[in-house]
Amino acid sequence: MYLILGEIFMILAPEQLNFRISSTDLEVIYTESNGVKLTVEAQSLDDFRHDKYHEVTFNFSNVAEVKCISLNFSEFNCDEYEISLKIDDPLTYWEQTGINPEPGVYCITNSELLRNKGLVYDPNNRLNLKHYLIMGYDSYAEIIASKYEFSGI
């Protein structure tokens, strides 16, 4: 955990995805029995080269909390976070590895929220909850859940 002027500095670990979110619109559907379904537009490397988009749906299971914020994450949290993977040339990295280093889907590895509420949501730590951040252009979602799957790309 990093501290800046007494505040916690968020560390964002990029999820290992072969696409990137490129969305001005996030759609989130929460149901108690089925968790969270989050739909965004995304681009594979080929889509990026041809300016095409696909709809991608993330399905989060064992959801403890979901929060949607209608602000640009980077602007709203300026200087309060760091992405743990630092790549000088993200496009070349994406081409060489097939993994996008800036996917728009992150795990907050030092989540204050999860640290504070984890014992409430999962006192026996059976669910292995994580704090996910999904960034759109003008909004973002934070989800505390066990895991996710995605489809559409």
pLDDT in tens, 44-62: 999 999 999 999 999 999 9
pLDDT at 137: 87
CA pair distance 149, 93, nearest whole angstrom: 24
Residue 9, strand partner residues? 2
Enter the DSSP assignment of 100: -
pLDDT at 8: 57
pTM beyond 0.85: yes
Q: Is the dihedral of CA 68, 35, 144, 94 positive or negative?
A: negative
pLDDT in tens, 21-35: 988 788 999 998 889
